[in-house]
Amino acid sequence: MKHNLFKGKVAIVTGASSGIGRAICFELAAAGAHLCLAARRKEPLDKIADELFPAKSLVCPTDVSINHMAEELAQKTLKEFGRIDYLFNCAGVFSAGGFGGLRIEAITEMIDINLLGTIYCMHAVIPQMRKQGNGHIVNISSLGGKYPFPGSTGYSASKFAVAGLSSALRHELKPENIHLTVVYPSFVRSPILDAHLPEVQNSLFFHLTGNYKPQQIAVAIIKAVAKKKRELVAPSFTRLTVPLYGLFPGLVELVTGKLMGGWPSYEQAESPNHSEPENLRNDKDRVRE
């Protein structure tokens, strides 16, 4: 769906190489936006940039969990386009498994990328949005950031934090005409989920939501941003579960556990971690900023 609102505007999209981020890039390009594509490896970004042509796009290999790389991402975008109108924080990782079986490294990686990556990118672009007097930030949380799912303790921690951060920051930015939308998707058929299909595909919850495609949620996100919505819970039928959890948390946890088929147990080991199918550098070379 095309929206004149985005014509000629500049958008940074992290996690642009796959899943929701990639789908958003195509929606924005179709609406006439100029794009900065960010992910950890250059090759898939170059391929997407070619597919987006003739839309104007800039390829910026970026590990958002490294602060100075997020700062460089903003500066490169400004140098190329002269402004930053939108930031779509789509980069994310997911390691599933019982808490007793999760490596601490898997938990800290989810915090580093899902939470700190979101913080670093916002911190990098907000000064320019303030200077312009406008802007819009979109943060991807998760339905697991509204209420917990078994087997997602580290992930839920990072996504609950993104939700709380976004709600607090919205108060600060509103007087400066900078909007913030938080997205709470359920299962989406993207690489972040595909790595875990053997573990979750037998659950009823997956069959209710697992065929929700990145393109579908990208269209919903663009509509929500055009309307300056505070948040989007998708797919739509899951929205009722959020107020229900506020009223009857024990009941929702019981039903969710049943729908997930009791998977996983506390000690069940994690599944392979996967978000973008790439790494900019080896773990031993990563620097914490």
Q: Which of 169, 164, 70, 77 is nearest to 117 (CA)?
A: 70
**E strands in 188-260:** 231-234
Token couple for 234: 């998708």
Q: Exactly one of 86, 120, 155, 212 is catalytic; which is it?
A: 155
CA distances from 248 to 75, 150, 243, 254 (A): 46, 17, 9, 10
266 is catalytic: no
Q: Which of 59, 52, 60, 58 is nearest to 32 (CA)?
A: 52
Residue with tokens 């989007």, as numbered in its chain: 232
Residue with tokens 């939470």, as numbered in its chain: 115
Instruction: Give the angle subtended at the CA of 228 by the CAs of 148 and 10, to the nearest 5°.
Output: 105
Q: Which of 81, 17, 8, 21 is nearest to 222 (CA)?
A: 21
CA distances from 99 to 46, 96, 252 (A): 38, 9, 20
Measured between its terminal Cα atoms, the distance across the chain in Å is 39
CA distances from 33 to 24, 55, 61, 109 (A): 11, 7, 20, 32
Task: Please give the positions annotated as active site.
Answer: 155
